[in-house]
Amino acid sequence: MKRFIVRAVLILVSFVLLIQLWIFCSLAWWRTHPVETTMFMRLDYWSDSSKPIQQQWRDYDEISNNFKKAVVAAEDGKFVHHHGFDWEGIQYALEKNEKSGEVVNGGSTISQQLAKNLFLYNQRSLIRKGQEAIATWMMERMWSKQRILEVYMNSVQFGDHLYGVEAASHYYFHRSAQNLTRDQAAFLAALLPNPKYYQENRNDPRFKFKQRFTLKYMRYSEIP
């Protein structure tokens, strides 16, 4: 029995270490190569393989500064200053969730969201959050802030089977991400908390509020 337990523990530890090695190697490769497939994209495709994934990579300088400022304003105002985790934001989210009696605010930074999108899944659990933290820690030390934001903008979800700001710009506005106006950028950034729902419910009051909030604070956004 003791030998069985030791063997099981060794197998579990080896599995966990292999996951960390896979994440490390992926991050090392993606430092200089476009990210064409993420875990979220795979899960979306496996849920309905009849629809192709829409995504087109665009380099950082080929994306409008309006959108860069919009996504920072909407998702992570302290992006350029933190090292992957916004501890004040996490504390605020915990207090807000406790007051509401349900999870209404995640407090995740852009780096945390990207780590989840690249390697994990959407269901909340302590195991997932722990792995997300490890992947975020590695990413922040291996990539520049500009690279993190570049990959995020190219891989985040904007609707059903719709990923990356270039594909989203063509889908919603029939133009390139390089030519997004302030209003259009705010619209796309406001989709991010719940893209599939807001894709079909664009008059939702929460979505309209997020657009107004993003437009108001875009001017204060600091971008890499």
DSSP sequence for 140-179:
HHHS-HHHHHHHHHHHSEEETTEESHHHHHHHHHSS-GGG
The pTM of the full predicted model, rounded to 2 decimals, is 0.90
Question: DSSP letter at 107?
Answer: -
Cβ pair 158, 167 in contact under 8 A: yes
What does the block give as tokens for 117? 């999108």
Helix orientation angle between 145-155 and 165-173, rounded to the nearest 10 degrees: 40
The closest alpha carbon to 16, from 130, 141, 138, 116, belongs to: 130
Q: How far is it, in rounded angstroms, from Cα 90 to Cα 67?
A: 24
Alpha helices in the chain, H assignment, sequence order? 2-30, 39-47, 65-75, 87-100, 110-119, 126-142, 145-155, 165-173, 182-191, 195-200, 205-217
Low pLDDT (below 70) residues in the chain: 93-106
Which residue has 């807001």 as its token pair?
Answer: 198
CA of 179: how far to CAs of 137, 173, 176, 194, in Å? 33, 10, 6, 24
Q: Where do the domains of the chain lie, and which CATH numbers do they carry?
A: 2-220 (1.10.3810.10)
What's the confidence (pLDDT) of residue 95?
Answer: 66
What's the confidence (pLDDT) of residue 3?
Answer: 82
Cβ within 8 Å of residue 84, ≥6 positions away = 109, 111, 112, 136, 137, 139, 140
Question: What digits encode the pLDDT tens for the residues 99-120?
Answer: 655 555 567 999 999 999 999 9
What does the block give as tokens for 102? 């349900």
What's the confidence (pLDDT) of residue 195?
Answer: 97
